C-alpha cells in the first residue's frame, strides 16, 4: 500500500470466498491505511447488504464507514437491480446522466426496490436475521462439536453462515438436495447458508436434522 493506490475494494464479510469474517479491528486498520495514502475505501455489499448480516449493512457491525458502497441482490427483492452510493465528499464527482446504462434508473426495478426496502424496514428484517441467524449458528456449532473430525469451523454473522468441512464437500449439495434442502458449497469445502431473510426457526430446525444426518455419513 502506498500513494499509488487510489482505492481498496473489499467485502466486509467474504461470501463466495468461503464466508470469512475479518478480525474485529481489520476494517478500522484498512481505513487507517486508506486515510494515510488518500485512497478510497470501497465496500462490495452485493451479498452482505440489506439485513443479511443482522445489520442493514455488514460495515455497521464494525462501524467503519466506506467512501463508496456497492449493492445488488436483495435491494430489488428478486427484481434485477444494482446500485452504488458514495459519501458526501464524493457526491460532486457525478451528475445525473454521467453514469448512464441502458437499464440504469429503471422505473420498474426502482419501484420493486422501494417496496422491498420498505418491507424490510416495516418488518425489521435486520433484527429478524440477527435472531434467526443466532439460532441457526448455534445449531451448526452443535453439529460441529458432534463431528470435530468432519467440521473444521462455523463462522458468519446473521443469515450468512459458513461451515468449513475438513475435506472437499461439494457432494453434500446433492445429498442435501435429495433430502429436500437446498444448500451451497463455496471454496471447495465450505457449506454456505444464505437463506431468505424470512426463513423460520422451524425450517432451520428441519435443515439441521438433515445436515446432522448427512454429515454423520460424510
Ligand atoms: C460479493 C459479490 N459482489 C458482486 C457480485 C456480482 O454482482 P452482480 O451480478 O450484481 O454484478 C456477487 C455475486 O454473487 C457477489 O456475491
Q: Which residue has the cell 476494517?
A: 27
What confidence tier does 98 reach under pLDDT thresholds 50, 70, 90? confident
Give the per-residue pLDDT at 105. 85
**pLDDT of 99 higher than 90:** no
Q: Which of the listed CATH numbers 2.60.40.1930, 1.10.10.60, 3.30.470.10, 3.90.1150.10 matches domain 125-216?
A: 3.90.1150.10
Cβ atoms of 90 and 67 within 8 Å: the answer is yes
What's the mean pLDDT when you consider all of the chain? Answer: 96
**What pLDDT digit, counting tens, does each position of 2-48 carry?**
999 999 999 999 999 999 999 999 999 999 999 999 999 999 999 99
- How large a percentage of the chain has pLDDT more than 70? 100
List, as own/partner pairs, every contact residues 168-176 make where C-beta atoms lie below 8 angstroms and the sequence separation is at least 24, other chains included. 169/218, 172/214, 172/215, 172/218, 175/214, 175/218, 176/210, 176/211, 176/214
Which residue's alpha carbon is nearest to atom 3 within ligand 1?
46
Residue 203 confidence (pLDDT): 97
Instruction: Confirm or reject: Cβ of 46 under 6 Å from ligand 1.
Output: yes
Architecture of domain 7-123: 3-Layer(aba) Sandwich (3.40)
Protein residue whose Cα sits closest to atom 6 of ligand 1: 46
> Is there an atom of ligand 1 within 6 Å of 15 CB?
yes
Q: Is 178 in the pocket of ligand 1 (CB under 6 A)?
A: no
Average confidence (pLDDT) over 78-101:
90
DSSP letter for 151, please.
E
Please give the Cα distance from 142 to 130 (Å, whole number): 18
Q: Is the CB of 82 under 6 A from ligand 1?
A: yes
pLDDT for 100 equals 82
Rounded distance from Cα 71 to ligand 1 centre (Å)? 8
The CA distance from 13 to 19, in Å, is 7
Binned at pLDDT 50, 70 and 90, residue 110 comes out as: very high
Domain ranges of the chain: 7-123, 125-216
Tell which one of 43, 70, 72 to mutate to probe ligand 1, the residue whose CB is within 8 A of the most ligand atoms: 72
Determine the average pLDDT of the residues in 197-213.
Answer: 97
Pocket test for ligand 1, best of 47, 81, 103 (most atoms within 8 A of CB): 47
Phi, psi of 187 (to 5 degrees): 55, 25
Which residue's alpha carbon is at the smallest distance from atom 2 of ligand 1?
A: 46
What is the distance between the terminal CA atoms of the chain, rounded to a whole angstrom? 43
Distance CA 168, CA 14 (A): 19
Helices (H), the chain: 26-36, 59-62, 107-123, 125-146, 171-178, 201-216
Q: Give 193's strand partners.
A: 161
Give every CB contact of residue 184 below 8 A, 6+ residues apart in sequence. Answer: 173, 191, 192, 193, 194
165-203 per-position pLDDT tens digit: 999 999 999 999 999 999 999 999 999 999 999 999 999
- For a pLDDT cut of 90, what percent of the chain falls above it? 94
The answer to whether 126 and 51 have CB atoms below 8 angstroms apart is yes
The predicted-structure confidence for 60-77, as pLDDT tens digits, reads as follows 999 999 999 999 999 999
Amino acid at each position: 500500500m502506498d500513494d499509488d493506490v487510489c482505492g481498496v475494494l473489499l467485502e466486509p464479510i467474504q461470501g463466495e470466498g468461503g464466508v470469512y469474517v475479518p478480525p474485529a479491528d481489520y476494517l478500522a486498520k484498512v481505513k487507517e491505511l486508506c486515510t494515510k495514502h488518500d485512497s478510497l475505501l470501497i465496500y462490495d455489499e452485493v451479498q452482505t447488504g440489506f439485513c443479511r448480516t443482522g445489520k442493514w449493512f455488514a460495515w455497521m457491525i464494525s462501524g467503519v464507514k466506506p467512501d463508496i458502497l456497492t449493492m445488488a441482490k436483495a435491494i430489488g427483492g428478486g427484481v434485477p437491480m444494482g446500485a452504488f452510493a458514495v459519501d458526501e465528499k464524493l457526491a460532486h464527482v457525478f451528475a445525473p446522466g454521467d453514469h448512464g446504462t441502458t437499464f440504469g434508473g429503471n422505473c420498474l426495478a426502482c419501484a420493486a426496490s422501494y417496496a422491498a426496502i420498505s418491507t424490510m424496514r416495516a418488518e425489521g428484517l435486520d433484527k429478524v436475521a440477527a435472531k434467526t441467524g443466532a439460532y441457526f449458528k448455534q445449531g451448526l456449532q452443535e453439529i460441529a462439536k458432534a463431528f470435530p473430525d468432519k467440521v473444521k469451523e462455523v463462522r458468519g454473522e446473521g443469515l450468512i453462515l459458513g461451515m468449513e468441512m475438513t475435506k472437499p464437500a461439494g457432494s453434500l449439495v446433492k445429498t442435501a438436495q435429495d433430502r429436500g434442502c437446498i444448500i451451497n458449497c463455496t471454496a471447495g469445502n465450505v457449506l454456505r447458508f444464505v437463506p431468505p431473510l424470512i426463513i423460520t426457526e422451524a425450517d432451520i430446525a428441519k435443515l439441521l436434522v438433515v445436515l446432522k444426518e448427512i454429515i454423520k455419513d460424510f
